[in-house]
Amino acid sequence: MVSTSPTPDPNRKPPLTETAIIYAARVFYEQHNTLPNCKTKAAVPGMPDDSWMSIYQAGYHGRRGLEKGRTLGEILQPLRDELLQTEQPLPPLSEEVIRQAARTYYMENGKLPTRTSEGSLKESSEFSWKRINHLGQAGHRGLEKGRTLSKILKPLREELQSQKTPLGAESILTATKSQKTPELTQTLQELRLNIAKKLILRIRMLREKFTLTEDSILKAAEEFYEKHGKFPSRASKQPVPGLKDKTWDYIHQAAYHGRHGLTAGRTLSTILEPLKRKSGIKTNAARQSLSEEVIRDAAREFYIQYNKIPTKDTKEPVPGMEHETWKALDSAAYSGYRSLIKGQSLSKILLPLREEYQHKIPGKPLTEDGILRAAREFYSRYGKLPTCASQESAPFLSGDTWGAIDRAGKMGYRNLNKGRTLSSILTPLRVEYGLTRVQQARLLSEVEIIAAAKRFHHGFQQVPTKNTVAPVPGMEGETWQAIDHAGRYGLRGLTKGRTLKKILIELHTV
């Protein structure tokens, strides 16, 4: 066989070395007077197809020949130490110089700078306000550590706030009287414009503070009823008559939180109750009070009629409660309405009744002797004992499935002891027939599985997986999924964790 060299991938990036990265960073420093980091957008000198982020990721994940875990910062640390030793010390900053620059900024813009403000110190374009904040926070350039821009400007802010007129307008007016420069005149005009805008905004806010009354809401609801034939709710999308740009949910929220003159704690539903009663509509407030005992009595009567315990989804009527539904009872219990304790539910209220009737899984009472008799007949028909997954019917137990019998025993329903699963009930039969679990499912070995997989590969030209449906050669009744399950959980003589894929790893590499 003639071996051919693999074709190089044109999209694969070339390997990297730390020496090349440091050299590129040195060139970058000469161009930009700063070292790059993983977020730097500028190009990498000498590496047109790379970015500083891709170099960082290659080092972090150990790709392209770099040691795993070597970030860009760690790679450039020797260069950083070298530059710190050779470069000239930067001139110090003083808080007084920063405050003087902030005073100039204030005279030009009518406000003090923050770390997000544009512009910089007049002495150097290098010192942006964001940069000054960082230097003070870190304690660099002669500044005390922790002195942010806001803390540095605090004395200047207190000085300006002590003036009588807002935003330092008095000092600006005094300055304009002594010398009317174009810059100060423009600043004064901007100041007046800002004040005018704030006054307009304040007037609009005051206009929004209208007053609502329950009578006006009832009047709007009457108009709504005449137009739409129903009363509004907080979910109604139609507009509120007489209140432009307002919704019924807005009115509900205003009443609930006590806004616009309404009493707090009221809702749209409670406000409209007099109107609904007047129209003959039965409201929650008009309904009778409830108690858990009354609900259980109704459920007992329901059980006598329908042989089942109701749930919140039951559609049949509630005995003795006209116009009532089981869902409404559940909702009242959950919300704490109609004298019920909040946080309850219909299911919780009927729990004593369910225990009384042992009514969770429908069906006739069961006995272990009856289940053993059915399993014995099942074995005579099919040559195996049933499990909870068996689809065949249970002899002598009409309408029952083996899964239902298993659940009833597990939960302790239908006169069975709790925890008695189908498997535990059938233990005497398993001993009688000599069918231990190991004997029911024969032992496996990895050698046998590999041999079967090789025969499968010879016939189908592929290695089987746990999802393969085709039969296992030489192992009648076995499936690849069952073998994978046995290896995964250490059953049938296999080592735990040895899945089918791990057992056949040698075949995958061939």
- What does the pLDDT look like over 208-238, one tens digit per residue? 566 888 888 999 899 888 888 888 888 888 8
- CA-nearest of 366, 355, 359, 358 to 402 is 366
pLDDT value at position 281? 62
pLDDT value at position 287? 60
Rounded Cα distance, 237 and 217, in Å: 16
Please list the ranges in the chain whose pLDDT falls under 50: 1-6, 8, 124-125, 164-170, 172-173, 175-178, 285-286, 359-361, 437-439
Domain range list for the chain: 21-86, 95-162, 171-208, 214-278, 292-357, 368-439, 443-509
The length of the chain in residues reads 510
- CA-nearest of 423, 441, 424 to 485 is 441
pLDDT value at position 121? 61
Rounded Cα distance, 366 and 406, in Å: 11
Dihedral class, residue 280 (left if φ above 0, else alpha if ψ from -120 to 50, else beta): left
Rounded Cα distance, 338 and 295, in Å: 12
pLDDT value at position 491? 81
pLDDT value at position 183? 62
**368's tokens:** 């272990």
Amino acid identity, residue 85? Q
Task: Give the model confidence (pLDDT) of 267-294 as tens digits.
Answer: 888 888 888 777 766 555 446 678 889 9
DSSP 363: S
**408's tokens:** 């009833």
pLDDT value at position 375? 92
Q: How far is CA 335 from CA 189, 284, 328, 329, 463, in A?
A: 59, 12, 11, 10, 60
Rounded Cα distance, 132 and 93, in Å: 9
Show Cβ contacts of residue 145 under 8 Å, excluding neighbours closer than 6 positions.
Answer: 137, 138, 139
pLDDT value at position 127? 67
Rounded Cα distance, 267 and 498, in Å: 63
